[in-house]
């Protein structure tokens, strides 16, 4: 804040209190109401921060190696080595929600990230089609969504096992107070099994999942992120489940004609009132206020051959690990680590010190 603040004498200030308007209670005072009316306050704070900073700043994000505990920090470390910054958003995938694998180490990592720095997790799934078992190859198998949603079928039993495993992992995060950018059934309209039965069945699956996790499983730490694969709204608009059960819309952009500028018109046409994100990207672009994406998630730093990451991460538009707490909380947060690995301190004005290699 610029300028000087005048401090009133206590007695004078006390006289003015009855004249001051009362601030409206949540959720009326919110900048961006969530799809889940019971979303935990931390999740509301993130959405409101995104809305306040839309067109001004974006959260930096990096997908992590999620299949080996020993490599869980490899990608973020790669970002740090190239930019002098760590990402504000870390991406995770299976073994979250996988009945066959133990996600305890990943859950602990996400919890510690949030407690120590306010790093925001984004979680997606690459689970095999129900009844086909795990493994990435099985994500392209065909399965009837109607069968998946019909109680008593083998497909339904397999789907419910997946959802219950997801819910258990997500509940552990909720109990720790951790909000999640939750991106289920991603790349709508693409080749994965959840899109293969057409848009109407996809929307049935999305709505069922939202209802089951939110109402049946009583999960209220999820920010629901819907994402597409492409830039033509004619192909992907039919898959949009509607504003009521979506918080953020986004797309995967892998430099084959799908770019931030190319995708924006389609996303804005599909959901003009929703926040937008680059939910997966191969190579990065510099920030453009005319394309006010609120966060990005680089899938692998190795694909960013143009080495643009340093300029993206060091720009004043970037929210990184060292200032994400201030971005969310509008000020210093008690209990945060005062100094990170390069001696940076969290800054309330969102500007990071110049990194000298």
Q: What is the pLDDT of residues 237-262, one digit of tens each?
A: 999 999 999 999 999 987 655 567 87
* Residue appearing with tokens 């209190």: 17
Nearest to 188 by CA among 172, 180, 199: 199
User: What was the pLDDT predicted at 256?
Assistant: 57
Assess if residue 174 is contained within a domain: yes
Assess if residue 262 is contained within a domain: yes
Assess if residue 336 is contained within a domain: no
Nearest to 269 by CA among 240, 294, 302: 240
Find the CATH number of the domain harbouring 60.
3.20.20.80
User: What was the pLDDT predicted at 197?
Assistant: 93
Assess if residue 172 is contained within a domain: yes
User: What was the pLDDT predicted at 229?
Assistant: 82
Helix spans in the chain (H): 10-16, 41-52, 74-83, 104-117, 145-148, 154-175, 199-211, 233-236, 260-270, 309-314, 324-329
User: Exposed, middle or buried by CB within 10 Å (0-12, 13-18, 19+), for 348?
Assistant: middle
163, two tokens: 């959802």
Domain total of the chain: 1
User: What was the pLDDT predicted at 345?
Assistant: 37
pTM of the model: 0.84
What residues make up the domain containing 303?
30-329
148, two tokens: 């998946």
Assess if residue 9 is contained within a domain: no
Question: What DSSP character marks residue 212?
Answer: I
Residue numbers in the chain where pLDDT is lower than 70: 1-30, 96-97, 99-100, 230-231, 255-259, 301-307, 331-357
Question: What are the angstrom distances between the C-alpha of 178 and each of 120, 144, 229, 333?
Answer: 8, 34, 28, 15
Kindly state the percentage of the chain with pLDDT values over 90. 61
Assess if residue 357 is contained within a domain: no
> With b meaning 16 or more CB within 10 Å and e meaning fewer, what string describes 90-119?
bbbbbbbbbeeeebeebbebbbebbeebbb
Q: How far apart are CA 153 and CA 158, in angstroms?
A: 9
């Amino acid at each position: 804040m610029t300028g000087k603040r005048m401090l009133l004498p206590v007695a004078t200030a006390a006289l003015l209190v009855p004249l001051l308007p009362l601030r409206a209670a949540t959720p009326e005072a919110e900048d961006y109401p969530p799809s889940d009316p019971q979303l935990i306050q931390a999740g509301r704070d993130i959405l409101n921060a995104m809305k306040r900073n839309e067109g001004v700043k974006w959260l930096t994000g990096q997908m992590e190696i999620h299949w080996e505990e020993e490599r869980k920090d490899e990608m973020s470390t790669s970002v740090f080595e190239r930019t002098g910054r760590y990402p504000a958003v870390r991406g995770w995938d299976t073994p979250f929600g996988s009945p066959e694998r133990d996600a305890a180490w990943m859950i602990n990592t996400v919890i510690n990230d949030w407690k120590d720095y306010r790093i925001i997790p984004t979680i997606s799934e690459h689970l095999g089609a129900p009844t086909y078992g795990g493994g990435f190859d099985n994500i392209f198998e065909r399965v009837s969504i109607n069968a998946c949603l019909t109680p008593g079928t083998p497909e339904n039993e397999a789907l419910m096992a997946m959802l219950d495993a997801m819910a258990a992992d997500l509940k552990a995060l909720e109990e720790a107070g951790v909000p999640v950018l939750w991106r289920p059934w991603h790349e709508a309209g693409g080749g994965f099994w959840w899109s293969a039965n057409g848009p109407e069945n996809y929307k049935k699956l999305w709505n069922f999942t939202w209802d089951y996790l939110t109402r049946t499983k009583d999960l209220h730490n999820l920010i629901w992120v819907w994402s597409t694969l492409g830039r033509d709204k004619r192909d992907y608009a039919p898959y949009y489940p509607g504003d009521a059960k979506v918080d953020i819309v986004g797309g995967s952009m892998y430099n084959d004609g799908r770019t931030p500028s190319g995708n924006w018109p389609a996303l804005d046409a599909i959901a003009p009132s929703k926040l937008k994100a680059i939910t997966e990207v191969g190579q990065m672009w510099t920030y453009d206020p005319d394309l006010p994406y609120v966060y990005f998630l680089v899938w692998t730093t190795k694909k960013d051959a143009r080495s643009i990451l340093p300029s993206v991460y060091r720009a004043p538009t970037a929210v990184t690990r060292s200032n994400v707490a201030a971005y969310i909380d509008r000020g210093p947060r008690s209990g945060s680590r005062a100094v990170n690995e390069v001696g940076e301190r969290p800054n309330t004005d969102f500007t990071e010190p110049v990194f000298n290699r």
